[in-house]
Amino acid sequence: MWGDRDVLTLRNVCKSFRSDFLRRQIPVLKGITMTVGRGEIYGFLGVNGAGKTTTIKCILGLLTPDRGSIEMEGRPLDRQSRQRIGFLPENPYFYDYLSAREYLALVGALFSLPSRETACRTGELLAQVGLPEVGSLKLRKFSKGMTQRLGLAAALLGDPDLLILDEPFSGLDPIGRKEIRDLLLACRERGKTIFFSSHILQDMELMVDRIGIVHGGQTTREGKLADLISHSVQAIQIVFTGIPPDRIAEVAPGALERDEARELTVDDEAQLAEVLPRIMAAGGQIRSITPLKRTLEEIFLREVKA
């Protein structure tokens, strides 16, 4: 079992590719530094082309970084590390002439699991991911969502401690998204660490513990989601009724009509303290006071445009 060390540590990972024709080096990763703690869900966020998939490939040993280090639980990556990792690629494609069971049997053999254990777990996992009936269906007949789910089952087959998923929600309908999300949350409950990349913010917001934003091959922000968002209360929104229209400009300048109430946005708590008594003195009734935090979207866009 792993200790309390960080599951995955990347330090200043750099990778360039050589363009074949001109022999120029094209840098793709220019310094990725991240830490994934045990038992957490880590979201790896970036636009297309920012280097997410390249980073994941480095973690999996498909690429060798030019500089920097990647460690799992304090030890450098090797083949044994991959025994503890479950990977779900983006747009997974499997050998489509195999059936679901056959494919999982193959994966089991590659993980050196005893075949009886593989057979057992196959049944369980297929049920868990919501594919209980498709054991003998050929993979070429699977829909996109089914393929995704099968990929997840394969990733879980070796009972990994670390799950790495590349764009796990892409191409799924909202129901599919929710199901995958629930599955991943259940995995976290069982003590697994989950690392996934995405460019869909809503999915991240709903489940991650920590976030790393990558842009232009570099990690630009990293931290707990709660921290990132709580430091950015942007404004406070007051919804109230009961002030006659001719007095709005005096009491609450800039208030907007919203259904049958008024809505006023102030910058901070100081202004709130100023406006609130005025409204109440004028006979208004406060419906709600809501601090508007920056959404993840806004944080992200700021990082990206910088």
Taking the CA atoms of 298, 303, 305 and 306 in sequence, report the sign of the dihedral they define.
positive
Question: Is there binding between residue 62 and other proteins (CB under 8 A)?
Answer: yes
Name the residue type at position 141.
Answer: K
Candidate list 27, 37, 61, 242; residue touching other proteins; CB under 8 A: 61
Tokens of 230: 């709580």
Query: Is residue 21 a contact residue for other proteins (CB under 8 A)?
Result: no
In the complex, least distance from residue 151 CB atom to other proteins, rounded to whole angstroms: 9
Q: Is the dihedral of CA 259, 265, 271, 273 positive or negative?
A: positive
Is 184 exposed, middle or buried, given 0-12, 13-18 or 19+ CB atoms closer than 10 A? buried
Chain residues 83-142 in contact with other proteins, contact rule CB under 8 A: 83, 85, 87, 89, 91-95, 97-98, 106-107, 109-112
* Alpha-carbon gap, residue 306 to 304, rounded angstroms: 6
The residue within the footprint of other proteins, chosen from 19, 25, 64, 285 (CB under 8 A), is: 64
How far, CA to CA in Å, does 278 sit from each of 81, 122, 288? 63, 66, 16
10 Å CB burial of residue 26 (0-12, 13-18, 19+) is exposed
Q: Cα separation of 86 and 83, whole Å?
A: 8
Q: Decide: is 57 part of the binding site for other proteins (CB under 8 A).
A: yes
Instruction: Decide whether 110 or 273 has the Cβ nearer to other proteins.
Output: 110
32 binds other proteins (CB under 8 A): no
Judged by CB under 8 A, does residue 168 bind other proteins? no
Closest CB 60 distance from other proteins, rounded Å: 4
State the nearest-atom distance from the C-beta of 13 to other proteins, in Å.
Answer: 14
Residue nearer to other proteins on the CB measure, 27 or 89: 89
Question: What is the contact surface with other proteins in residues (CB under 8 A)?
Answer: 17, 57, 60-64, 79-80, 82-83, 85, 87, 89, 91-95, 97-98, 106-107, 109-112
